[in-house]
Amino acid sequence: MSGHAHSHKRSGLWDWLTTVDHKKIGILYLIAGGFFFLIGGLEALLIRLQLIVPEADFVGAATFNELITMHGTTMIFLAVMPVIFALMNAIVPLQIGARDVAFPFVNALGFWLFFFGGVLLNTSWFLGGAPDAGWTSYTTLALKQYSGIGVDFYVLGLQIAGLGTLIGGINFLVTVINMRAPGMTFMRLPMFTWSAFVTSGLILFAFPAITVGLVLLMFERLFGANFFNPDAGGNVVIWEHIFWIFGHPEVYILILPAFGVISEVVSTFSKKRLFGYSSMVFATVMIGFLGFMVWAHHMFTTGLGPIANTLFGIATMLIAVPTGIKIFNWLFTMWGGQIRFTTANLFAVGFIPTFTIGGMTGVMLALPAADYQYHDSYFVVAHFHYVIVGGLVFGLFSGLYYWWPKMFGKMLNEKLGKWNFWTFFIGFHLTFFPQHFLGLMGMPRRVFTYLKNQDLDLGNFISSIGAIGMTIGTILFLANVVVAARSKKQAPADPWDARTLEWAIPSPAPEYNFAQTPLVRGLDALWVEKMAGNKGMTPAEPLGSIHMPSPSFLPFLMSIGLFIAGYGFIFEHHVFSVIGILIAFACMLMRSLKDDHGYHIEPDEIEEKGVKA
Amino acid sequence: MSADHTVNSVLPDEPEKATLEGKNKVLGFWLFLGGETILFGTLFATFIALRNQTNGGPTGHELFELPLTAAATVILLVSSMTSVMSVLAMHQHNLKKMQVWLTITAILGIAFLALEIYEFSHYVAEGHKMSSSAFGSAFYTLVGFHGGHVLFGVLWLITLQLQAIKKGLTVVTAPKFYVFSLYWHFVDLVWVFIFTVVYLMSIVGGKVG
Amino acid sequence: MKSRWQQLWRQLFLFGMLALFLAGCGRENLSALTPQGPVAEMQFSLMKLSALIMIGVFVVVILIFTYVLIRYRKRPGQDGIPKQVEGNHKLEILWTVIPFLLLIVMAVPTVTIAFDLSKEYTNKDALVVKVTAHQFWWEFEYPDLGISTAQDLYIPTGKKIQFDLTSADVMHAFWIPALGGKMDTNPGDSNKMWLQAEKPGIYYGKCAELCGASHALMDFKVNALEPAKFDEWATAMKSAESTPATASAQQGQQIFQKSCLGCHAIGAEGGKLAPNLTNFADRQRVAGILENNPENLDKWLADPQAVKPGNLMPNLNLKPEDRKALVDYMSTLKVYQP
C-alpha cells in the first residue's frame, strides 16, 4: 500500500515549493519576511531622507504618500508577521514535543497565500502606482474618487495575505491543543508557545474583521457599493471601527510573541526559571483579552463623544497592569541569576527599557483629552515605533540569535552580533526618541515635508541620522547570516545550556523532530531532566516507524490561482478573476478527493542518521 | 496508520474522532467557525448601522415580503435537520442512509438558493441595487455572503457525495461528513439571524426601523 | 565589564536628549508644550501628570534594571546553579496593585477634562464658527455674523469659540496645537469642539489627518484679536468692497471676474468651490504656505501644482502681464488693518 512508501527524496527548488515540513516552512517565512523587511526598510530610509531638512524636494508629495503607506503595510503584514510565523513554525512544535503541526498542508498553504499576497501588493509599484491612502486606508480618501489603483492592490494583496495568516493561526491553535507530548500540560508550556497560542487566538478573532473591511472596500471601489460614501448614505466612521477592531488586536498579535521570546531568552541566560510563570501566563491571556476591548482609542478624535472616549481610555490604561507584571517578572527572573550577555540576551535586555518607554507613552496616549494633542502627530509615530521596533523587532532579533542554531544548524557570530545590537539600538533611539518632541511641538504625522522656521529642523535631522544606525545594524545582521552560512562548524544540540524541549534534539532539528516522543515531567522539561542527571529526555514510546505527510504542490498552485484572480479584480478583467478562482477551487477539490497517505520513516533510517534514541 | 481503516474493519462509534487527524480536523473546524462568527458579526454590525440609509430608494419595509423569506427559513431549517439525520446515519455506519439524507440536504440547499436568486432579481427590478444606496450595499453583502456560503456548501456536498460513492465510510472520510454538517448548521444559524435582523426587524419595525 | 559603561553612556545619552528638548519646547504659537489658551492648558496639565507618573515608574524600572545587570552578571569562573525561584506572591501583588492605584490617579482628571472639553456652547456664550475642510484648504463661516472667509481664521481673545467641523471631500483633522488638541472633520457628519485664545497673536493651524498629496501643506493661521478689534474686523468684512485704483488692477479685476469668480468668491459674489478671497491681501500666506507677497502670488498663479501638488486650482495659463494685472488686483483685496 502506498501508505508505507518510504521518504521520497526531493531536492532543490521543487522541495521548497512542495514542502509541508513546518521547519522548512519556517525558513520560507523567514526568507520572505526578511525580504519584505528589507523593502520596508528601504522605504523607511527614503522617508527619513526626504525629512532630513525642511522643504526638501527629494521625493515628491505623491510618492511620499505611497512610501509611508507601503512602509506601514509592508512592515506590519509582510515583514514582522511572517518573521513571527517563522519562529512559531520553527519552534512551537519542538517546544511541545510534537512531530508535526496539526495541518501541515494548511500550514504550507498559509505561507504561499501570504507570499503571493505580499508580492501582489508590491507589484503595484510597477503597475500604476502603490497605494497612497496610508496603511489604515481611511475612507473617503481610499475611495476611487480620491486615490488611484494602488488601493486596489492594497485591498486584494492584504485579502490574500490575510487569508494565509488566518489559516496559519488556526493551525497553531489546534497544534497546541491537540499535539502536545505526554505530560506537556498547558501550565508546562514554555512562554513562547503560550504567547504563540494566544496570538493565534487573536488572529482567529481579529482577521475576519479586516477580511470584511477589505471586502466592503473592494465592493465599493470595484462594484459601485456605497458603504462609505456619504453622498449615497454611507458612513466613513464604519471603516475606522472595522479597521481598528482588527487593528488593535493586531498590535498584540505582534507584541505577544516578542514577550514570549524575551521570557525564554532572559530565563535561559540568567540560568533561572521564569519568575512568576503563572502570572506571566495570566498576563498574556489578559493582554490578549483586553486587546479586543480598546480599539476605539485609535479614534478619540473621530467624535465618538466623551463617554465612549473615557471608557475606551480607561480600558486601555488597564493594559498597563498586565504589561507591568511582565516587565517586573523579567527583572526578577534576572535577579539572583548568572546573566550572560550573548547577543540574544543583549537584545532581550535592551528590549526591557525600550519597551517600557513605549508602554509609558501608551498610557499617556490613553488619556483622551491629552490624546487630542498627540493624535496623528509624530508623538504617535514615536510611540508605535518604540513598541513595534523597540519591542517586537528587538524581540525578533533576540529570537533569531537564540534559535538560529536550531533552525539552521549554524551559530550566528557573537562578535558581529554585538555590533549589530549596538548600532541598531543606538540608531533606534536616535531615530525615534526626538519624534516624541516633534509631535508635541506641532508636527503632524504623514507629512511629506515641513516648513522652515517652525523649530522642527533639529529633531528631524537627528531622527534621520539615527536611521543610518539602524541601517548599519541591519546590514551587519545580513553579513552575520552569510558568515554563519559559510561557516563549517556545526552547532551543538544545546549551545546555550537551555531549558526547553527544542534543545533536547539535534541542531538543526531532524525531519521527524523527535525520534521518540518525549515524556515531559515538569516546566522547563529539558532542565528538569538535566537536574535529575539525565542526558536527554525520557522517551514516552518505543522506537518505531514514523508517519510523515507527503509534500504537495497544491498550496503553491492554489495561491497562484488567487494571485491571478487578484490581478483580474484589480484591472477588472474578470476572465482572469474567474480563471484564478477556478484554479483555487480545482486545487481544493483535488486535495479533498485524493487522500494523502503520507510515508513512513523506519527505525533503521533514524539510526542511520545517527540520532540518539 | 489511519489509512488502514476501511469500512470492512471495525469502524468505531464516532469514526470522525477515531484518529488524531480526525480530531484535529473537527477542532480546527470549530475554530474556523469561531472566525466565521466574527466575519458575520462584522457584516451584521455594518448592516445595522446602514439599514436606514436608503438614499431615497425603497426601504426594507417596502421591499421585504414575509411569506417568501419565511419559506426560505423553513427550507433551511429542515435542511439543518436532514444534515443531522445524515450524521446519525453515519454513526450507525449506514452509508446508504447517510447518502440519502445528504442528497435531501443538497436539494433543499439548491431550493433555498433558487428562492434567493428570485428574491434578488425581484428587488433589482424595484430599484434596490448594490449601488443604489448604503442600505443596498449592506443588504446584498450580508445576505449575499450567506448565499455564497450556501452555494459553497452545496458544491462541497457534491464532492462529499462523490467520495461517499468512491471511498465509502472510513475514518478518513467520516470527519469530512461530520465537519460538513457543522458547517451547514452554522450557515443555517446565520440565516436565523438574517431572518430576524434583516427581514423581521424591517417588516415589523416598519417606518420606525 | 564593558556593559556597565555602555549602560551609563546610554543613560547620559537619554538624559542629554531630554534636556536638549526641554530647553526648547518649539515655537510658542505652534507647540502643544506652550499652551496659549485654557483647552491647551488643561491638556498640558494632563500630559504633565501622566508623564510625571510614567517617568516615576520608569525610574523604578531602570534602578532595578541597572542593579540587576551589574550585580547578577555572570562572573568569570562562576559555577553552580542559581536558586530556581518560582515567584513571590507579595511582590507580584505589589506590582499589580500599585499600577492600579496610579491609574486611578490619572483616571479622575482624565474623565473630568474629557467631559469639560466636550461641552457644547451656543452663540450666547461663544462665537460659533463652521469649519469646512477641503483638499487642501480651510473654509470658515461665522453663521451669526453672516460672513465667511478662508485660510486665516479670525477669532476674538478671551471668548470661547465653538467649532462645528465638517469636510467637503475626505477626512481631515483640525488642529491648532498652541490652543488645543485636534478633532477630525468627517465628510457627511459634523463634530463639535471649543477652543479659546488668551492673548492676541497669530497661531499656526494644521491638518492632522492624511488627506492626499498636499496634506503636509494644508496649513492655516489663526489671527486672535482683542474683542473690540475683532468686531471691527467683522464689520469691515461685511461691507468689504474692492476698489482697484490702477489701470493694471482694473484689468486684473476683469480677468478675475472672467476666470476666477466661478470658484472663488469676493464678498457675497462668486463660487464656493475654492477659498473665499474677500480679504486675500490681509492673509498671512499664499495658498496657506508661501509668504504673502506679489512674487509668491505670481509663482502660485503660474503653476499651482508646483506649489501644492494635487490641489484643484487649474493652471489658467495666463500670460505674464495678465498675471501681473491679477496680482495687482488681488493686492487691493484688503479689508482690515489693525
Q: Residue by residue, what is the 3-state secondary structure of chain B? A: CHHHCCCCCCCCCCHHHCCHHHHHHHHHHHHHHHHHHHHHHHHHHHHHHHCCCCCCCCCHHHHCCHHHHHHHHHHHHHHHHHHHHHHHHHHCCCHHHHHHHHHHHHHHHHHHHHHHHHHHHHHHHCCCCCCCCHHHHHHHHHHHHHHHHHHHHHHHHHHHHHHHHHHCCCCCCHHHHHHHHHHHHHHHHHHHHHHHHHHHHHHHHCCCC
In a domain, A196, yes or no: yes
Q: Helices in C72-176 by DSSP H: which ranges? A: 89-117
> Does A325 touch chain C if contact means CB atoms closer than 8 Å?
yes
pLDDT tens per residue, range A200-234? 999 999 999 999 999 999 999 999 999 999 999 99
> Does A238 touch chain C if contact means CB atoms closer than 8 Å?
no
> Does C11 touch chain A if contact means CB atoms closer than 8 Å?
no
CATH number at residue A430: 1.20.210.10
pLDDT tens per residue, range A25-77? 999 999 999 999 999 999 999 999 999 999 999 999 999 999 999 999 999 99
Give the cell for residue A8.
521520497
Give the cell for residue A361.
507613552
pLDDT tens per residue, range A122-164? 999 999 999 999 999 999 899 999 999 999 999 999 999 999 9
Burial of residue A610 (number of CB atoms within 10 Å: 0-12, 13-18, 19+) = exposed
SS3 A538: strand
| Amino acid at the residue A106 | V
pTM: 0.94
Structural domain range at position A287? 21-527
A-chain CB neighbours of B168 within 8 Å are none
Give the strand pairing for C265-266 and C220-225: unpaired
Lowest mean pLDDT among A300-304, A578-582, C203-207, C245-249: C245-249
Domains of chain A: total: 1
**Contacts for C258 with CB less than 8 Å, ≥ 6 apart:** none
What is C261-316 written as a DSSP string? Answer: TTT-EETTEE-SSS---TTGGG-SEETTTEESSHHHHHHHHH-HHHHSTT-S----
Total residue length of chain C: 338
**Closest Cα in chain C, distance from residue A220 (Å):** 15
CB nearest C33 (choices: A134, A279, A441): A441
CB nearest A170 (choices: B31, B45, B163): B31
- A370 and C54 within 8 Å at the Cβ level: the answer is no
Domains, chain C, in order of start with CATH, read: 21-70+90-239 (2.60.40.420), 247-330 (2.60.40.420)
Q: To which residue does cell 479670525 refer?
A: C154
Give the residue from B109, B87, B79 showing the smallest Cα distance to B175. B87
Distance between alpha carbon B173 and the CA centroid of its chain, in Å? 21
In a domain, A327, yes or no: yes
pLDDT tens per residue, range A442-465? 999 999 999 999 999 999 999 999
C-chain CB neighbours of A139 within 8 Å are 171
Question: Are the C-beta atoms of residues A218 and A570 closer than 8 Å to each other?
Answer: no
For residue A10, the model assigns a pLDDT of: 60
Average pLDDT over residues C189-193: 95
Give the cell for residue A122.
508590491
In this model, does residue A391 exceed pLDDT 90?
A: yes
| Amino acid at the residue B95 | L
For residue A604, the model assigns a pLDDT of: 83
For residue C202, the model assigns a pLDDT of: 96
Kindly identify which residue of chain A lies nearest to residue C113, measuring between CA atoms: A369
Per-residue pLDDT tens listing for chain B (209 residues):
344 444 445 788 888 888 999 999 999 999 999 999 999 999 999 999 999 999 888 888 888 988 999 999 999 999 999 999 999 999 999 999 999 999 999 999 999 999 999 999 999 998 899 999 999 999 999 999 999 999 999 999 999 999 999 999 999 999 999 999 999 999 999 999 999 999 998 888 654 43
The DSSP bridge partners found for residue A547 are: A600
For residue A612, the model assigns a pLDDT of: 42
**Contacts for A602 with CB less than 8 Å, ≥ 6 apart:** A6, A545
**Contacts for B55 with CB less than 8 Å, ≥ 6 apart:** A226, A232, A233, B132, B133, B134, B135
- A226 and B31 within 8 Å at the Cβ level: the answer is no
A-chain CB neighbours of B49 within 8 Å are 235, 238
Put simply, the chain C residues between 221 and 280 with a CB less than 8 A from any chain A CB are none
Long-range CB contact pairs, C182-185, < 8 A, 24+: C182/A301, C182/A372, C182/A373, C182/A375, C182/A376, C182/C208, C183/A301, C183/A303, C183/A372, C184/A301, C184/A302, C184/A303, C184/C209, C185/C131, C185/C132, C185/C133
For residue A476, the model assigns a pLDDT of: 97
In this model, does residue A611 exceed pLDDT 50?
A: no
How far, in Å, are A47, A318, A322 from residue A367 at the CA level? 30, 12, 18
Q: How many CB pairs under 8 A join A and B?
A: 127
For residue B13, the model assigns a pLDDT of: 82
Expressed in angstroms, the distance from the first to the final Cα of chain C is 67
pLDDT tens per residue, range C27-44? 889 999 999 999 999 999
C-chain CB neighbours of A370 within 8 Å are 43, 46-47, 50, 110, 181
> Does A56 touch chain C if contact means CB atoms closer than 8 Å?
no
Matching CATH number, B29-50+66-205, of 3.40.50.970, 1.10.530.10, 3.40.50.10260, 1.20.120.80: 1.20.120.80
In this model, does residue A22 exceed pLDDT 80?
A: yes
To test the contact with chain A by mutation, choose from B26, B31, B33, B160 the residue with the greatest count of A C-beta atoms within 10 A, namely: B31
The DSSP bridge partners found for residue A518 are: A539
For residue B209, the model assigns a pLDDT of: 39
Give the residue from B137, C114, B35 showing the smallest Cα distance to A219. B137
| Amino acid at the residue A484 | A
pLDDT tens per residue, range A237-290? 999 999 999 999 999 999 999 999 999 999 999 999 999 999 999 999 999 999
- B34 and A204 within 8 Å at the Cβ level: the answer is yes
In a domain, A415, yes or no: yes
> Is C in contact with B (3 or more beta carbon pairs below 8 Å)?
no
For residue A6, the model assigns a pLDDT of: 46
The whole-angstrom separation of Cα B170 and Cα B181 is 17
Put simply, the chain A residues between 217 and 256 with a CB less than 8 A from any chain B CB are 219-220, 223-227, 229, 232-235, 238, 241-242, 245
> Does B131 touch chain A if contact means CB atoms closer than 8 Å?
yes
Q: How many CB atoms lie within 10 A of CB A12?
A: 7
- What is the band of C89 on the pLDDT scale with cuts at 50, 70, 90? very high
**Contacts for B176 with CB less than 8 Å, ≥ 6 apart:** A592, B25, B160, B163
> Does A13 touch chain C if contact means CB atoms closer than 8 Å?
no
- B133 and A595 within 8 Å at the Cβ level: the answer is no
| Amino acid at the residue A73 | T
- A593 and B28 within 8 Å at the Cβ level: the answer is no
- A451 and C65 within 8 Å at the Cβ level: the answer is no
To test the contact with chain B by mutation, choose from A2, A173, A198, A212 the residue with the greatest count of B C-beta atoms within 10 A, namely: A212
**What are the domain boundaries of chain B?**
29-50+66-205
The whole-angstrom separation of Cα B147 and Cα A588 is 20
Give the residue from A70, A29, A88 showing the smallest Cα distance to A256. A88
The whole-angstrom separation of Cα A414 and Cα A427 is 20
Put simply, the chain C residues between 184 and 213 with a CB less than 8 A from any chain A CB are 184, 186-189, 191-192, 204, 206-213
pLDDT tens per residue, range C250-280? 999 999 999 999 999 998 889 999 999 999 9
Average pLDDT over residues A18-26: 96
Question: Are the C-beta atoms of residues A564 and A585 closer than 8 Å to each other?
Answer: no
**Closest Cα in chain B, distance from residue A167 (Å):** 8
Give the residue from B172, B65, B73, B71 showing the smallest Cα distance to B128. B65
For residue B206, the model assigns a pLDDT of: 54
- B35 and A212 within 8 Å at the Cβ level: the answer is no
Put simply, the chain C residues between 142 and 181 with a CB less than 8 A from any chain A CB are 169-171, 173, 175, 177-178, 180-181
The whole-angstrom separation of Cα A129 and Cα A150 is 5
How far, in Å, are A61, A176, A512 from residue A548 at the CA level? 54, 18, 8
pLDDT tens per residue, range A73-104? 999 999 999 999 999 999 999 999 999 999 99
pLDDT tens per residue, range B68-104? 999 999 999 999 999 999 999 999 999 999 999 999 9
Question: Are the C-beta atoms of residues C183 and C173 closer than 8 Å to each other?
Answer: yes
In this model, does residue C239 exceed pLDDT 90?
A: no
For residue C208, the model assigns a pLDDT of: 97
How far, in Å, are A89, C147, C179 from residue C225 at the CA level? 64, 17, 14
In this model, does residue C136 exceed pLDDT 70?
A: yes
> Does C122 touch chain A if contact means CB atoms closer than 8 Å?
no
pLDDT tens per residue, range A313-342? 999 999 999 999 999 999 999 999 999 999
- What is the band of A9 on the pLDDT scale with cuts at 50, 70, 90? low
